[in-house]
A and B are shown apart, each in its own frame.
Chain A
Amino acid sequence: MYDTGKVLIGILIFILVFTSPMLINLSGGKASVKANPVLPKSGKCIESKEYMKGYHMEMLDTWRNLVVRQDVRFLKKADGTFFMLNGVKAEMSLTKTCMSCHDNKAKFCDECHNYLEVKPYCWDCHIDPAIAKKGVKK
């Protein structure tokens, strides 16, 4: 082999770059940490767990468009009747409807979002109701 020194440096860089996921995982010691969202103890969600896992963001997007752009505020079931929540018509609202059961943002939303480095821009405008109740200190 010619120019052995330089070629070996190149091979070393190649190995480091392409094994970097393994090196990060092994040195970080957090590879076995799993996302563990805490589900509400009682109550039934408006959609199935499988649907919600994949498509909740699309549902929220549809809700936003309906509420903000068409002034359609209340959530209907497939048969056309309104969805009721604690005796009143449920709004198409993340904070008022979803988070009335899933009331812990950190232990529910953030678990998977942080695990997968998802930064939804919901929270650019909305605020975690639990924090809103306590009052925000600036």
Chain B
Amino acid sequence: MGIWFSLVAVAALTLLGLIGANVSGLNYVFAVVIPYIAIVMFIVGIIVRIVRWASSPVPFRIPTTGGQQKSLPFIKQNRLDNPSSYLGVLGRMALEVLFFRSLFRNTKAELKEGPMLTYGANKWLWLFSLAFHWSFLIIFLRHFRFLTNPMPFFVPLLQDIDGFFQIWVPLVYITNIALVIALAYLFFRRVFDSKVRYISLPSDYFPLLLISGIAITGILMRYFFKTDLVAVKELMLGILSFSPSAPSEALSTWFYIHLLFVCSLLIYFPMSKLVHMSGVFMSPTRNLANTNRMVRHVNPWIDDLKMKTHTYEEYEDEFRKVMKGAGMPLDKEESHVS
């Protein structure tokens, strides 16, 4: 169900891109207006999400992360998994963001003949996720060659490394292949694994299909159905220097579809699960040092609720009679205030 909904959504976007490319009156809307809307919605949307997350109080540090917490001197602390210092938190966050450390712990439960329930390591999801995210990042950074003038230093560097094998003309980039393979894995994992299919929603399939659409149209444009790259760059430079020009006639339909997919992704990004891009930095199990016992953490909403401290002495004063009657031990026989 979710698959079909997502497929139809992506097909509708493709159709919309076809219309935008071929109805000349709409060229400007699709090449200039929609990109601006997308950029604004993306940036504002992400900021709104971050502010909303930051508005919820995190009352206490979460000590139950994988790894020994700081304890007695002869017990070895796991500094990266259960850090008690700011530096340790930075290390844990870096491992999470750059190498998906928590996904590396992913395990798989399977019911086998017997019946026997088995648990085993499952690194495939980690591997393909890593391949997907890094490829996507590098491809995004490589696209700066269409977005900026002067050229940032990293563009030629990434192109040289990425096109290292020097096969095909134009050069095949390693990340292009890795991205497509990783997307195929991530998508078909949801299709063929019945357990994952059961919990998959349209919002799981749609981003995968949309990003696949971006990748496929991009690859087709680079290797098979060439578009006028000079016209593309002139358009993008116009948009990104706030002096947009009318889109050139030379821009192909493939380019319009590619651009519309990217704009859709930008608009969809802040309101979907894809915001984990910024959300990962707000994860309480990743960004808080385990200092539960070393530092006094005051409940952040204590002022809002106008809560007053209620000490044991006061409690005993309140219930002295009842406690005495029940034969419970008391610190004081008589009220200390009276």
Contacts and interface: CB of A to CB of B under 8 A. Distances in A.
A116 interface: yes
B149 A57 contact: no
B240 A21 contact: yes
Interface stretch (A6-14, A68-76, A79-87, A91-99): A6-14
A2 B240 contact: no
B296 to A, nearest CB: 17
B72 interface: no
Given A25-B149, A112-B230, A116-B146, A31 B50 contact: no
Nearest to A121: B166
Interface residues of A, number: 38
B54 A3 contact: yes
A78 to B, nearest CB: 20
B54 A4 contact: yes
Interface stretch (B19-27, B39-47, B119-127, B211-219): B39-47
A67 to B, nearest CB: 15
Contacts of A10: 50, 278, 281
Contacts of A2: 54-58, 300
Given A26-B241, A115-B230, A33 B54 contact: no
A117 B145 CA distance: 6
B233 A116 contact: yes
A121 B87 CA distance: 45
B96 to A, nearest CB: 15
A109 B247 CA distance: 24
Contact of B156 (A20, A22, A30, A117): A117
A32 B144 contact: no
Nearest to A114: B151
Given A14-B50, A21-B147, A116-B145, 9 more contacts: A2-B300, A7-B54, A21-B148, A22-B241, A35-B230, A57-B169, A57-B170, A115-B149, A117-B151
Interface string B51-64: 10011111000000
Interface of A, helix, strand, loop or mixed by DSSP: helix
A14 B230 contact: no
A117 B155 contact: yes
Given A21-B240, A55-B226, A117 B234 contact: no
Contacts, number: 102
B9 to A, nearest CB: 25
B242 interface: yes
Contacts of A28: 148-150
B172 to A, nearest CB: 13
B228 interface: yes
Contact of A34 (B151, B170, B229, B234): B234
Interface in A25-84: 25-26, 28, 30-35, 50, 53-55, 57-58, 60-61
Contacts of B227: 54
Which of B160, B166, B229 has most chain A Cβ within 10 Å? Answer: B229
Contacts of A115: 149, 230, 233
B159 interface: yes
8 contacts: A1-B51, A11-B50, A21-B147, A25-B149, A25-B237, A30-B150, A31-B243, A116-B230
